[in-house]
Amino acid sequence: MTARKPFTTIAALIFLIIAVAHAYRLATGFEVKIGSTAVPMSVSWIGIAIGALFGAMLLVEARR
């Protein structure tokens, strides 16, 4: 019996897209500013780790 959890799958995809966006930022050196403050590139490493981890965990949960 296969359970369907479309909202969990959608949330997983959103987290994975965020992780890919952070990877793109690191690869291209894209600068992000909030007001007049530049966001350091190290934030993207954290964004990749958290986005990928949450996305993978949610995909596993969606299959249960």
Q: What is the pLDDT of residues 16-40, one digit of tens each?
A: 999 999 999 999 988 999 999 999 9
Instruction: Please write the tens of the pLDDT for every residue from 36-55.
Output: 999 999 999 999 999 999 99
Q: Which domain does 23 fall in, by range?
A: 13-28+36-63
Per-residue H/E/C for 6-57: HHHHHHHHHHHHHHHHHHHHHHHCCCCEECCEECCCHHHHHHHHHHHHHHHH
In a domain, residue 6? The reply is no
In a domain, residue 52? The reply is yes
Domain count, the chain: 1
Q: What is the pTM of this model?
A: 0.82
In a domain, residue 3? The reply is no
Q: What confidence category does residue 1 fall into, taking pLDDT thresholds of 50, 70 and 90?
A: very low
In a domain, residue 48? The reply is yes
In a domain, residue 41? The reply is yes
Q: What confidence category does residue 3 fall into, taking pLDDT thresholds of 50, 70 and 90?
A: low
In a domain, residue 22? The reply is yes
